[in-house]
Amino acid sequence: MSTQPIKFYQTDTFTVGNRLLAPHERSVQADPRRANALNCGHRACQGCGEALGARYAIDAAMRASGGRLIAANATGCLEVFSTPYPETSWQIPWIHSLFGNVAAVATGIAAALKVKGQGDVRVVAQGGDGGTTDIGFGCLSGMFERNDDVLYICYDNEAYMNTGVQRSSATPPAARTATTAVHGPEPGNVFGQGKNLPWIAMAHGIPYVATATVADLRDLEAKVQRAMAFRGARYVHILVPCPLGWGTAPDETIRIARLAKETGLFPVYEAEYGEITRTLKLRKPLPVEDYLRPQKRFAHLFMPEPRREVITRIQRLANRNIRRFGLYEERPWDAGALDALRSGSDA
C-alpha cells in the first residue's frame, strides 16, 4: 500500500495562521499576544499596505529582540498617519526624524546604547521609498558603509504618497504620478535604470539584505527574524501597495502585492554579505498585464487602446528578473507557463 507522509497542512504557511502547525511553527501575527506595535486608530487610508507592512515587520522585530526595541522613523506617510499630535499609535519607543536623516538618527541611538552598555536593546530605522531611495540615500549609504548596528526597513510604495503621489526614484516605468503625467510619446514615468536599492545595499557588502512583500507574511517575518540575528547594518525592502497612489481598491492591496511577486516584477530574495542566498520562487508565473491592469496608474496602457509595445517592455523587465534571480522552477502541473510569457515578449 502506498503511503504519503503527513506533511500536508491544508493551507501550509500561505495563510497567516494554521491550527494544524505546531505552536512553535506559527507566525508572529497569528499570536494573540503579538506586540501590535502599530495599534488601532491610526489615520492610514483604508487598505493601507504600509500600515500592514509596518506592523508585520516591527512585531517580528519585537519578538526577535524580546521586546527590547527602539524605532526611528523618517518623515513620510507612516510617520504622519501614526502620530498626529498629540496621539501616537506606536506601542514601542519611537522617535521621529527628518525626512532624510533617519539612518543617521538610528546610528546615533545605536551608538548611545553601546556607550551606555545597553547593547541588548536593538535599533530599527524605517522610512518610505522617498525617505530611503531619494532624500535619505546619503545617510543610509553611510550607515551601510560604517556597518552601524541598525536594521533599516524601507516600506516601498513607489512614490511620495503623503504629499500627493509625486514620483520617486522607486517609481516604476510607465506609471502615472502627479509629476509623471500621461502625455507625449512615452506617457508616465520614464524607462530609466531606476534605483535598485536592495542591489545597492548588497554592493556595500553588509551582513544582510532582503526583499519582501505584504502578500507573504511568513516570508517577511522569517526575513526580519534573520536580519535580527545579525549585528551590523541590515536592510529589508518591503513592497507595500498604496490604494490611493496606485489606484486600486482598498481590498486589493495584498492581491496586488502578490501579483507583483508572481509576475516577477518584484523579485523576492535575500542576500548575506553581498551574495544572494535564497530566492522565493514563483508559485504560478503570470503575465505582467495581470498586475498592471487593475491599477489606475497604468490605465493609460490599456485605454483607449492597449499599448502593446509598452506592456511588452515591462514584460521584458519581469523576464529579466526571472532569469537573473532564478525565480522559477518548472513543475509538472504548469509546464510551459514561462514559455508562454516569453513568446509574447520575445525576450
Amino acid in position 244: L
| Angle at 332 (CA atoms; ends 221, 281), nearest 5 degrees | 25
Helix, strand, or coil here: 6?
A: coil
20 touches other proteins (CB under 8 A):
yes
**Residues 228, 237: Cα–Cα separation, whole Å:** 14
Burial of 52 (0-12, 13-18, 19+ CB in 10 A): buried
Q: Which of these ranges, 36-44, 136-144, 222-230, 315-323, lies near other proteins under the rule CB under 8 A?
A: 36-44
Which of 48, 64, 228, 317 lies at the binding interface for other proteins (CB under 8 A)?
48
Strands 269-272 and 275-279: antiparallel
Binding of residue 29 to other proteins (CB under 8 A): yes
The nearer residue to other proteins, 29 or 132, going by C-beta atoms, is 29
Of the residues 32, 184, 192, 304, which one makes contact with other proteins according to CB under 8 A: 32
30: contact with other proteins by CB under 8 A: yes
- Which one, 45 or 111, has the nearer CB to other proteins? 45
| Angle of the 49-64 helix axis to the 253-262 helix axis, nearest 10 | 80
Under the criterion CB under 8 A, does residue 271 sit at the interface with other proteins? no
Contacts of 265 (CB under 8 A, 6+ apart): 172, 288, 291, 314, 317, 318, 321
Between CA 82 and CA 88 the distance in angstroms is 6
CB 170 within 8 A of CB 158: yes
Give the containing element (helix H, strand E) for 74: none
- What is residue 156's three-state secondary structure? strand
Which of 22, 24, 85, 336 binds other proteins (CB under 8 A)? It is 85
Could you tell me which of 125, 138, 137, 107 has the C-alpha nearest to residue 54?
Answer: 125
Candidates 89, 168, 279, 295; binder of other proteins (CB under 8 A) is 89
User: Which CB atom, from 3 or from 193, has the smaller least distance to other proteins?
Assistant: 3
Residues 57-76 that bind other proteins (CB under 8 A): none
- Shortest distance (Å) from residue 181 CB to other proteins: 29
Rank residues 67 and 84 by Cβ distance to other proteins and give the closer one. 84
Q: Which is nearer to other proteins, 94 or 160 (CB)?
A: 94
Select from 80, 88, 95, 108 the one that contacts other proteins (CB under 8 A).
88
**Residue 51 within binding range of other proteins, rule CB under 8 A:** yes
* From candidates 25, 145, 186, 251, binder to other proteins by CB under 8 A: 251
| Dihedral, 244, 178, 241, 34 alpha carbons, nearest 10 | -70
249 binds other proteins (CB under 8 A): yes
Q: Write each residue from 191 to 220 as x if it is in contact with other proteins (CB under 8 A), else as -, in one continuous string.
A: --------------------------x---
Site string for other proteins, 307-346 (x = CB under 8 A): --------------------------x-------------
State in angstroms the smallest separation of the CB of 162 from other proteins.
16
Short-list 108, 61, 36, CA closest to 228: 61
For residue 82, give the 3-state DSSP assignment: helix
Q: CA-to-CA distance for 206 and 274, rounded, in angstroms? A: 7
CA atoms within 13 A on the CB side of 140: 32
Binding flag, residue 4, other proteins (CB under 8 A): yes
Kindly list the residues in this chain that would bind other proteins in the complex (CB under 8 A).
1-6, 8-12, 14-20, 27, 29-30, 32, 36, 38-44, 46-49, 51-52, 55, 82, 84-89, 217, 243, 249-255, 258, 333
